[in-house]
Structure 1
Amino acid sequence: MEKSKHCEICENQLYDFKTGTRCGITNERPCFKEKCSDIIFDKKYQDKIREVNIEFESIRRDKFLCYLNFSLYFGIGVSLMFTGYFLGVYLFKKGAMSTVPMVIIGIGFLVLPKAIGSLVSYYQKISVAQMKKTKLDEILSRYNIEYSIDVIINADIHDNKEIEANLTFLRKHPR
Structure 2
Amino acid sequence: MIQTEHCDLCEFPKRDLKKGLTCGLTNKKPDFEVSCPDLKFSNSLKEYLPELLNQIVQLEKRKASIYLNLGLFAGIGLLILFGSYPYLIQNFKQTFDPEFSYLNWNYFLSTLLLSFVGIRLILMGFWPFNNYRKELKELQSEKSKINMVLKNYGIKMETLMNLEKK
Q: Under a length normalisation based on structure 1, what TM-score does the superposition of the two structures give?
A: 0.70
Aligned-partner residue type, residue 162 of structure 2:
T
Distance 1:69 1:82, change over 3 A: same
Aligned to 1:105: 115
2:12, 2:40 within 8 Å by CA — same for their partners in 1?
A: yes
- Alpha-carbon offset, residue 107 of structure 1: 1.6
Structure 1: gaps of 5 or more residues: 150-166, 170-175
| Greater strand content | 1
Tell which has more relative contact order, 1 or 2 (C-alpha 8 A, sep 6+). 2
Provide the residue aligned with 1:163 in structure 2: none
CA contact (8 A) 1:10 1:44 kept: no
Mapped partners of 1:10, 1:21: distance in 2 = 12
Structure 2 CA distance for aligned equivalents of residues 90 and 2 of structure 1: 63
Residue 97 (structure 2) aligns with: none
Q: Deviations over 1:118-168 (max 9, x none)?
A: 22222121111111111111111111112439xxxxxxxxxxxxxxxxx43
AA in 2 matched with 1:6: H
Task: Name the counterpart of 2:35.
Answer: 35
SS for the counterpart of 1:76 is helix
Q: Which residue of 2 aligns with 1:74?
A: 74
Equivalence for 2:16: 16
Structure-2 separation of matches of 1:8 and 1:81: 50
Q: Percent identity?
A: 25
Deviations 1:19-61 (A, max 9, x none): 4432101122221110001111352331232233233223222
Which letter does structure 2 place at the counterpart of 1:24? Answer: G
Q: Secondary structure at the match of 1:8?
A: helix
Instruction: Tell me the CA shift for residue 5 of structure 1.
Output: 1.2
From the two aligned structures, give the one with the greater helix fraction: 2
Q: What residue number does 1:129 align with?
A: 139
Q: How many residues align?
A: 149
Write out the 4+ residue segments of structure 1 that deviate beyond 4 Å after TM superposition: 86-92
Which has the larger Rg?
Answer: 2
User: Which SS does the other structure have where 2:30 is aligned?
Assistant: coil
The answer to which of 82-91 and 134-143 deviates more is 82-91
Report the equivalent of 1:148: 158
The alpha carbon displacement at 1:64 in A equals 1.7
User: What is the DSSP-based 3-state SS (H/G/I as helix, E as strand, rest coil) of the residue aligned with 1:21?
Assistant: strand
More deviation, 7-16/50-59: 50-59
In 1, Cα distance between equivalents of 2:156 and 2:14: 26
